Amino acid sequence: MSQNQPFILCIDDDAQVLRAIARDLKSKYRDSYKILSTTVVKEALETLLELKNKGETVAMFISDQRMPEMEGVAFLEKAMEFYPDARRVLLTAYSDTDAAIRAINSVQLDYYLVKPWSPPEEKLYPIIDGLLDDWQNIYRPDFKGIKVVGYQFSQKSHSIKDFLAGNLIPYQWLDIQSTEESNKLLTLNNLSLQDLPVVFFEDGSFLPSPSIMEIAHKVGLNPQVKHDVYDVVIIGAGPAGLAAGVYGASEGLKTLLIERRAPGGQAGTSSRIENYLGFPTGLSGAELTRRALTQATRLGTEIITPQSVKDIQQRDGYNQIILEDNTVITTRSVIITTGVDYRQLETKGIADFTGAGVYYGAAMTEATACKDKEVYIVGGGNSAGQAAMYLSKFAKNVYILIRKEDLSSTMSAYLIDQINGTPNITIKPKTEITEAIGHEKLEKLVIANVDTKDSNTVNADALYIFIGAKPFTDWIALNIIKDEKGFIETGRELKNYDSFRKIWKQERDPYLLETSCPGIFAAGDVRATAMNRVAAAVGEGSMAISFVHKYLAEVK
């Protein structure tokens, strides 16, 4: 928390209701936030202007919906112009909930609170706590944390930013070509352009052109393992792996979670997940990941990241996990939740500009650099649609290129409706990229009709690729049966393979999520026949722990 306390601004034309909400907020939050209240919209807007000019911060707006001067939704829309990152809460009567639900999209409402909210310990404080925690997670005061200096269109700069963002580590990006501070930092520390990118840390130290592992060690990631033998090691920290971590630790298992890149998986990079149960206003992949990580670690799960597993070996009833740095971890059971990667777009020029205008996922990492730019997206799934909606807030135009005639068979209906209602998003059906062109960074794309092959060249400042789903299983050398695409087979599906009976020596059949190797399970998108939804992955991750318990009971 900065020395100057952030503000919470409340407005309601009913003085009695206003006194009640201000009283309850001061009772709980006065040590951390300043509570302002007013019954007049004009006074509220004048206060916001004054606070903005003074450099003060507002963390939350709480507004009544029915006010004579202006409806609450309209007030929140104006308030967003001053503090776009502040959380937004609408006070409504039960009869006004329809207006509140519409406001979820129109002003990105964070919550609508139905009056009365008594007792506040149950109906007010848990809601406000969660929203303020989310705000604190994105709050950027006068920056005192990690600073990354580099070229915007540098592959290594992009990798560092993507790593920090993926691991929920706040940082400030300083483009050497557009910020005065970046050049001052280099000069003061006797650094040259050849040292870029440079990562500066809060303690005054810096790392010129560092590896991801060097950064990880510096910020305290990738700790040493604590136990000689674990009950379960989970490989991959996407939704399935995080769920397994939560349930494993909560049920008393010595649980270790290993992630090669950043927690959250593909879901963690999503700008908005709107169909996850229990979050009516949606939540970002980063928010979901942060909550799950906090939950897992609080319950006792150990997490190592970034660290890759290069092999699993079974010896004397135990599993040995061999890490990339040759560390050996012993565990009684394993859950593989390594998920999937986006497929590489094998098109002329694409590889030359990866990280320099061409990105796989990473929409949130590079979005601010797309302001007033021409942006293209390849892919027709929900990830592509969510990225398009997010990028449309920054880009001049966003174009979605798909090989099919429309999005109906690959994207959720709610997302299609949002895209169709966004004026600067254009869908280009039956279209493919045949070449990427540029000098040091992407500048143009050659796009063609998939049927006629007629082509034209378009200006393109950025290309985001969301195609296919390639399972991350190439590293597995053990006799774990996979389908022709590389997805791991489990349970009854294993009986379809002639090699299964040669491998499987148990008297029982494999459990539903068990692989062809006893005690090794698979969950989430990496598993053949899995349903590709965040909620499904979470369900499989938690279910895998129940099978781990059964297996461990057998081998005691």
Q: What are phi and psi of 87, to 5 degrees?
A: -70, 150
CB 268 within 8 A of CB 242: no
Name which residue leads in pLDDT, 202 or 22. Answer: 22
Q: Where in the chain is the domain with CATH 3.40.50.2300?
A: 7-138
Name which residue leads in pLDDT, 523 or 361. Answer: 523
pLDDT value, residue 142: 56
Q: Which pLDDT tens digit goes with each residue over 473-526?
A: 999 988 999 999 999 999 999 999 999 999 999 999 999 999 999 999 999 999
CB 270 within 8 A of CB 386: yes
Looking at domain 229-341+470-555, what is its CATH homologous superfamily? FAD/NAD(P)-binding domain (3.50.50.60)
Neighbour-count burial of 295, counting CB atoms closer than 10 A to its CB (0-12 exposed, 13-18 middle, 19+ buried): middle
CA 125 to chain centre: 26
Q: Where in the chain is the domain with CATH 3.40.30.10?
A: 146-218
Angle 459-464-466 from CA coordinates, rounded to 5°: 140
Element (H, E) at 37: strand 34-38
Give the mean pLDDT of 331-336. Answer: 99
Q: Where in the chain is the domain with CATH 3.50.50.60?
A: 229-341+470-555, 351-465
Give the mean pLDDT of 136-162. Answer: 87
d(CA 178, CA 158): 16
Cβ neighbours around 144 below 10 Å, total: 10
- The CATH number assigned to the domain with range 7-138 reads 3.40.50.2300
Q: How confident is the model at residue 1 (pLDDT cuts 50, 70, 90)?
A: very low
Query: Which residues, other chains included, contact 501 with Cβ-Cβ below 8 Å and sequence gap of 6+?
Result: none
Element (H, E) at 146: strand 146-150
Residue reference for tokens 């580099």: 150
Q: Render the burial of 158-182: b for 16+ CB within 10 Å, e for the rest.
A: bbbbbbbbbbbbebbbbbbeeeeeb
The answer, as to whether pTM is greater than 0.85, is no
Instruction: Tell me the two tokens of residue 169.
Output: 């580590």
Give the mean pLDDT of 114-123. Answer: 90
For residues 395, 342, 274, 136, the Cα torsion angle rounded to the nearest 10 degrees is -70
d(CA 378, CA 346): 13
For the chain, give percent helix, strand, coil, nearest 5.
35, 25, 40
d(CA 59, CA 133): 10
Q: How confident is the model at residue 463 (pLDDT cuts 50, 70, 90)?
A: very high
- The CATH number assigned to the domain with range 351-465 reads 3.50.50.60
Give the mean pLDDT of 250-254. Answer: 98
Architecture of the structural domain at 146-218: 3-Layer(aba) Sandwich (3.40)
Mean pLDDT estimate for the chain: 93
Give the per-residue SS3 of 155-203. Answer: HHHHHHHHHHHHCCCCEEEEECCCCHHHHHHHHHCCCCHHHCCEEECCC
Query: Which residues, other chains included, contact 122 with Cβ-Cβ below 8 Å and sequence gap of 6+?
Result: none
Q: Which pLDDT tens digit goes with each residue over 409-451?
A: 999 999 999 999 999 999 999 999 999 999 999 999 999 999 9
Angle 106-108-111 from CA coordinates, rounded to 5°: 115
pLDDT value, residue 99: 72
CB 309 within 8 A of CB 206: no
* Measured CA distances, 256 to 139, 297, 300, 547 (Å): 31, 10, 9, 17
d(CA 175, CA 182): 7
Neighbour-count burial of 384, counting CB atoms closer than 10 A to its CB (0-12 exposed, 13-18 middle, 19+ buried): buried
Of 498, 525, 521, 524, the C-alpha closest to 511 is 521
pLDDT value, residue 3: 55
* Measured CA distances, 408 to 402, 415, 419, 457 (Å): 11, 10, 12, 27
Q: What radius of gyration, in Å, describes the C-alpha atoms of the chain?
A: 25
